[in-house]
Every structure is written in C-alpha cells, then in structure tokens.
Structure 1
Amino acid sequence: MTDAHHWRLPNLLSAFRLVAAPVLFLLALQGHREPFLWLLAAAFFTDAIDGTLARLTGQASRFGAMLDSWGDVAVYTAVAASMLLLWPELVRQEYLAFSAVVASFILPAVAGLVRFRRFTSYHTRLVKLAVVATAAGLFLLLLGVAAWPFRAAAVLAVLAALEEVAITLVLDRERSNVGGLWEVLRERRRDGPPA
C-alpha cells in the first residue's frame, strides 16, 4: 500500500486524535474547560466513526487499526491527566470509577506489549460499547447531570479490558479487529492448536 493510501479519510480521523491529545492537555494546563470539552467531543466523534467509515468504504487496514489504537491511547492519556487539572474534586469524588476506566485502558495495553511487543488493536464489540458508554457517561458527569452512567460505564470498561487481556492470552499472534473472545475461541477450536 502506498503512502497516499495510508492517508485517506478514516486514517485522517484517527490521526486527528493524535494531534488533539496534546492540545487537550494544553487546554487543561491553561484551565480552559469549555474548549477542552468541545475538542474532546470532536475526538470522541472521530473515534466513533473512523472504523465504521473505513469498513464501509473498503479502506480498513492494519495500519488504520494501529493508528486508531494509537489515537485512542494518546487521547485517553491526555484526558486522564487533564481531568486531574480541570476537575480535581470530581476525580476525588469518583475515584473508583476513574481508576477503573484508567486501568481498563492500561492493562490490555501492557498485556499486548508483554505478549506481542506492541499495542493490540482488537476493537472488540465490547470495547466499542464501553468506549461509547464511557464517553457519554463522562460528559454527563462533567456537565453535572448524573454520576451513575459514568460508574456503570466504568464497570463495562473493566469487563471489556478483561476480555481483551483474555484474547491476548489466547492468541498465538497479534491480530487487529477481533469481534470478541468467543469468536477467537471458536476459531481456535475449528482450526486446532497452533503447530
């Protein structure tokens, strides 16, 4: 695949998050809550549509899956640090939920690095659901609407992380865009153990 193919719209949307992450952190350092929320909404939106757009247009690729994962890591890291700067009291109040969400991003990444020496990019259905729930719950929390959606999303994020770690332990090589643990186990049963 040529470099021009790497930079089609779905991958540009993923790359946007790589650029947005340091800007989010700078906005947090300067105490700009409203611009931070707008940029975060844009980052979450690109995360929601880049993979779907890639599949619908036939532009899904391993490069795109990895770029998407790197964009996610960058944004979630910036958000975790920024929350401590912009909403420290809220982080203290919801410490368990925030810790669970942060752990849900760190543990699968560490498992992938240890097992395959790279970040995994499974994009399971459960991870996609957890990301949407976490984004919605975070906004409801930050806007003062309710805390319970974020708490529920934290539980879902932990379940998604556990599934990702289990997939990492089951696979004999790293793969992108895995539907879920059951699909991996079914394929393994069908294909037999690795030679």
Structure 2
Amino acid sequence: MARNNFSEIHPRLTLPNLLTGCRFVAAPFLLWLAWFGYHTAFLVLLGIAFLTDALDGLAARLTNQVTHFGAKLDSWADLATYLSVGFGTWWLWREIVHREDIYVYIIIACYLAPVAVGFIKFGKYASYHTWLAKLSAVSVAIAIYPLFLADIAWPFRVAVLIYAITALEQIAITLTLSEPSSNINSIMQLVNQHSHS
C-alpha cells in the first residue's frame, strides 16, 4: 500500500527517470573534473553517464514506464551531457578537438538544425528517440574513447556521418508530423502509419 501511495504522490520518480536524472547530476562533476585536468576520472564518469543513457530507455520499456515526460527529461539530460562533453574535451584535449574541428562543427550543426526546425514548426523542443538516434548516440559515445585515449580519429568521423544522417531523419519526421510526438522508431514507421491512416 505504501508503495502504491508513493507512486501516486510521486508518479515521476520512476527508475527510468532516476537513471536519467543521474546525467544531470554528473554534468557539473564532469565540468569540474575537466577544469582541474582529471583526464581519466572524466572519461570514467562520462562512461557511467553514457551507461545510464542506455539503461534508462531499457528500464522504461521493461517496466512499461515509457512516458512523454520521460522522453523530454531524457532529451534535456542529453543536452546537459553534450554540453559537458563539449566544454570538458575542449579543456582536456584542446589540440585533438581543434584538429577535428570540422567534425565537431558538423555535430553541433546536426544537433541544432533539428531543434530549430522543431521550434519553428511546433514552438517547442522536438525529440523522437528513433533507432537511428540511439545508434548515433552509441557510436559517438564509443568513438570518444579511441579518439582521446589513443588519438584514433576514424571511429569519431564515422560516428559524425551517422549523426548527420540522424539529423536528416529528425528533420524529416518533424516536417511529416502534424503535431509534436515522441518515441517514434523511424521515419519509415511514421510514413507507414500515415499511409494506412
């Protein structure tokens, strides 16, 4: 009974949302570690943040707690993580980041363009959590480690290509939708739904 009452009083304090919240907590610590030059600790904490990013969606599906609020919270947690990664890697590995600046600019543009299109069409932050978005997030997360630990750049550049394709899909979804939505698997799923409606 107490558990049910807790769920009614705090319906948003679910396991998936708590996992997502860990990324908000990690963000300032990532910045602190980077500012004071703790390279290894930064990468370890970043790995934990990436792990919670993977686990929150899985937990939401396994516990049947996929919600619009959870999707939005996840998007804002992603933004906090990306900002921490951007500033942190610049402080810690400035030469590598400067060398890869074209790819960094592409990632920034590919993040901002779908957001801008969403605000123009819907007046709000649109995020869809497609399979391609998940793939691009995983590919970027993995590519960071060979880039900064061993100065191997090609996985990062491949990840940027995947991220660019993801951005195009996000924009296509926004242009196809008549109203904001979340947790869309792919543009093909959306097109099929429209063709059968």
Give TM-score scaled by structure 1 length.
0.92
Instruction: Tell me the residue number matched to 1:137.
Output: 143
- Measure, in 1, the Cα distance between the counterparts of 2:88 and 2:120: 27
Q: CA deviation at 1:5?
A: 2.2
Q: CA deviation at 1:60?
A: 1.0
Instruction: Tell me the residue number matched to 1:60.
Output: 66
Q: Secondary structure at the match of 2:70?
A: helix
8 Å contact 1:80–1:102 — kept in the other structure? no
Instruction: Give per-residue Cα distances to partners, 1:132-178, cap 9 Å, x unaligned.
Output: 01100111111116211111000000100110011111111111100
Amino acid at match of 1:25: L
Q: CA deviation at 1:45?
A: 0.4
Give TM-score scaled by structure 2 length.
0.91
Q: Any residues of structure 2 matched to 1:21-100 within 5 Å, and which? A: 21-100=27-106
Instruction: Tell me the residue number matched to 2:116.
Output: 110
Instruction: Tell me the residue number matched to 2:192.
Output: 186
- Measure, in 2, the Cα distance between the counterparts of 1:3 and 1:189: 41
Q: Point out the more displaced range, 112-121 or 53-62.
A: 112-121
Q: Secondary structure at the match of 2:150?
A: coil
Amino acid at match of 1:155: L
- Measure, in 1, the Cα distance between the counterparts of 2:185 and 2:140: 19
- Measure, in 1, the Cα distance between the counterparts of 2:68 and 2:45: 27
Q: CA deviation at 1:61?
A: 0.8
Instruction: Tell me the residue number matched to 2:173.
Output: 167
Q: Secondary structure at the match of 2:185?
A: coil
8 Å contact 1:101–1:154 — kept in the other structure? yes
- Measure, in 2, the Cα distance between the counterparts of 1:127 and 1:111: 16
Instruction: Give per-residue Cα distances to partners, 1:5-40, cap 9 Å, x unaligned.
Output: 211111001111112112211222222211111111
Instruction: Tell me the residue number matched to 2:10.
Output: 4
8 Å contact 1:83–1:91 — kept in the other structure? yes
1:17 and 2:23 correspond: yes
Unaligned 5+ runs, structure 1? none
1:157 and 2:163 correspond: yes
Number of equivalences: 191
Instruction: Tell me the residue number matched to 1:146.
Output: 152
Amino acid at match of 1:157: Y
RMSD after superposition: 1.4
Amino acid at match of 2:109: A
- Runs (4 or more) in structure 1 with deviation over 4 Å come to none
